[in-house]
Amino acid sequence: MSTKTTRYGVDDDPVFVIDPSRCIGCEACVAACAECGTHRGRSLIHLERVDRAVSTQTAPMVCMHCEDPTCAQVCPADAIKQNEGGIVQSALKPRCIGCSNCVLACPFGVPKYVAEFDQMMKCDMCTDRTSEGYAPMCASVCPSEALWYGTVDEFQERRRGSLVSNWLFGRQHVHTKVRTVVDDLAAGPIDVLGPAPATWLDDPFGLSDPSTTEAAP
């Protein structure tokens, strides 16, 4: 499995970006996740079907690494920690009691209880790689760059859209370390419970051009 090997320095301040509209459902990210040195052979991300009834569109589900993680707040054993870079780790094995509070509380549905290890495990943004300046395994192999790692300047040079890190789940406002691509930054936080307007993100590769579409007879 080939990987992108750009190495970033501390001063580069790279960001992890998700653009669900670019996901092609190949699951290269899922396979690569299991190869991360801190995951013990487990893939800690998965793909979700956006709307099975009307579309084949998929979206990669990784930990968003909230600034104030709900999973850590509800852990009765204080087993979930953030490192200095703001990355939320899997539960500490000696402390985790397998209660699944974090699994139920996470607004993004990321943590998973792994019975084999009697422990909550989750995406840790491949800390063995990102701590050395390399992209997470999933972003290093994604062929469509639905998962992407680099500087904000690099993103703005290469890609359309704006990067947001604010989410609204009803009355809960969540700020994340991981950025998500949206069409209009001025629209405010991503309202998960609100309607989703159609934008250019519905066709991120520009494959459909209404001006060239022939009208049906």
pLDDT single digits (tens) 63-103: 999 999 999 999 999 999 999 889 999 999 889 999 999 99
Whether residue 3 has pLDDT greater than 60: no
Please state, in angstroms and rounded to a whole number, the distance separating the CA atoms of residues 168 and 187.
Answer: 12
Confidence of residue 191 (pLDDT cuts 50, 70, 90): confident
Whether residue 185 has pLDDT greater than 70: no
Q: Taking residues 51-61, report their average pLDDT.
A: 82
pLDDT computed for residue 170 by the predictor = 85
Least confident stretch, 57-61, 74-78, 208-212? 208-212
Please state, in angstroms and rounded to a whole number, the distance separating the CA atoms of residues 95 and 127.
Answer: 20
The larger pLDDT score, comparing residue 87 to residue 211, is at: 87
pLDDT computed for residue 1 by the predictor = 45
Confidence of residue 192 (pLDDT cuts 50, 70, 90): confident
pTM above 0.75, yes or no: yes
Whether residue 199 has pLDDT greater than 70: no
**One-letter-per-residue 3-state SS of the chain:** CCCCCCCCCHHHCCEEEECHHHCCCCCHHHHHHCCCCCCCCCCCCEEEECCCCCCCCEEEECCCCECCCHHHHCCCCCCCCECCCCCECCCCCCCCCCCCHHHHHCCCCCCEEECCCCEEECCCCCHHHHCCCCCCHHHHHCCCCCEEEECHHHHHHHCCCEEEEEEEECCEEEEEEEEEEECCHHHCCEECCCCCCCCHHHCCCCCCCHHHCCCCC
Q: Taking residues 101-112, report their average pLDDT.
A: 93
pLDDT in tens, 17-46: 999 889 999 999 999 999 988 898 999 999
Q: Measured on CA atoms in the order 178, 43, 57, 141, is the torsion positive or negative?
A: positive
Asked whether the beta carbons of 6 and 150 are under 8 A apart, the reply is: yes
pLDDT computed for residue 2 by the predictor = 47
pLDDT in tens, 138-181: 999 999 999 999 999 999 998 888 899 999 988 889 999 999 99
The CA-CA-CA angle for residues 148, 149, 153, to 5°, reads 105
pLDDT computed for residue 160 by the predictor = 86
- Backbone φ and ψ for 192, nearest 5 degrees, come out as -65, -35
